[in-house]
Amino acid sequence: MRCSSCGAEASGKFCSECGAPASGEKSGCPKCGHELKPGAAFCGNCGEPAAPRAAKPLSAHLPWVLSFVALAAFAFLVAWFVQQQSRARIGDDPITGGLPEPSAAGGAGGAGAGGMPDLGSMSPREAADRLFDRSMREQEGGNEEQAATFANMALQAYGQVPPDQIDLDALFHVGLLHLLMGDSNTATSIAESILADDESHLLALLLARRAAVAVGDMAVADGYAERLRTAVEAGLIDEAGRPEYEAHRGLIEREAGVAPTEGSSGGAEDATGSAGAAQEDQQEPAAGGDGTD
């Protein structure tokens, strides 16, 4: 018989040329009844599928399931890693990484005992000094990674301080920070630049000695130590009347190996003093006259 659609000879249920039903019946859209072309997957009138879609096998959803499981596992590992890296805070250090406010007895400049200072409300020099102190305290607590982090922040902060506010005390702080970061060359350059104008400047002698110890040049370190000891024993701390000497009196006396003045303290930067002394002891175990504890 002939196909009612194309006129070709047809046998079976469908025309081998155009695919039309051999019975002569033309299929229509199940939604709008529009006549469908032979083999059409969708209705040309309303877009309805010509036949119900087959359900996707479960394997087709497998990539999405695996992606979700992998994401959940990654989130768990990140949370676990952060928890493992957490550490106990020193004293009243806030979680934000700021500095605890000094108590009313410890000095002005804060919101009172237990308050938290806002570095953004401080002058550039005040913020730099606070970061310097925090770096030294972290090193004293054995938190080398945190000490290096705050040292880097402090160096950037000192870089923002106006040049007329960079006094010898600030230069001494910068030198200690460079030593903490392992840059003894810069620390030595800072010390030598100060000594070029004042060959007996106590903090410059102290910094130069520590820089020499850091590179293992014990002969040079001993020379600076002797000059420092001589100046301190001559009463230079009080005679010079320098504010930076009074601020670091305990540290200077300790480094010079003289009896500390009653009530004096070495301050947070004693952490680097302890490290320097330990390094010197390792390199020269038999030496006992370098003036360090």
Do residue 264 and residue 163 come from a single domain? yes
- Mark 45-72 as b/e (b = at least 16 C-beta within 10 Å): eeeeeeeeeeeeeeeeeeeeeeeeeeee
Amino acid at 173: H
Q: Is residue 245 domain-shared with residue 136, that is, in the same domain?
A: yes
pLDDT category, 279, cuts 50, 70, 90? very low
- Indicate the number of domains in the chain: 2
Residues 152 and 15 in one domain: no
Specify the CATH number for the domain of residue 155: 1.25.40
Mean pLDDT of 94-116: 38
Instruction: Report which residue type is found at 143.
Output: N
Q: How far is CA 75 from CA 79, 82, 88, 90, in A?
A: 6, 11, 24, 29
Does residue 27 sit in the same domain as residue 129?
no
Q: What is d(CA 198, CA 194) in angstroms, rounded to the nearest whole number? A: 6
Sign of CA dihedral 154, 160, 163, 164: negative
Give the tokens for residue 2. Answer: 């002939």
pLDDT (0 to 100) of residue 202? 92
Pair 152, 250 in one domain: yes
pLDDT class for 223, splitting at 50, 70, 90? very high
Place of tokens 């010390």: 191
Q: Is residue 16 part of a domain?
A: yes
Length of the chain, in residues: 293
Distances (CA, A) of 76 to 21, 65, 259: 60, 17, 56
* Cβ neighbours of residue 51 closer than 8 Å, sequence gap 6 or more: 41
Higher pLDDT, residue 58 or 205:
205
Q: 87 lies in a domain?
A: no
Say what angle helices 168-180 and 124-140 make with each other, to 10 degrees.
40
Q: What are the tens digits of pLDDT across the range 232-270?
A: 998 888 887 888 888 888 889 888 888 776 655 544 555
- Which residue segment(s) compose the domain that 167 sits in? 124-283
pLDDT exceeds cutoff 50 at 282: no
pLDDT of 81 strictly over 90? no
**142 and 31, same domain (yes or no):** no
Average pLDDT, the chain: 73
- What is the per-residue pLDDT across 4-19, written as a single tens digit (0 to 9) for each? 667 666 666 667 667 6
Query: Is the pLDDT score of 142 beyond 80?
Result: yes
- For residue 192, the model assigns a pLDDT of 94
Q: Is the predicted pLDDT of residue 32 greater than 70, yes or no?
A: yes
In a domain, residue 105? The reply is no
CA 265 to chain centre: 30
Say yes or no: 265 and 144 in one domain.
yes
Structure tokens at 102: 């000094």
The mean pLDDT of 216-227, rounded to a whole number, is 93
Q: Residues 158, 267: one domain?
A: yes
Mean pLDDT, residues 41-53 taken together: 70
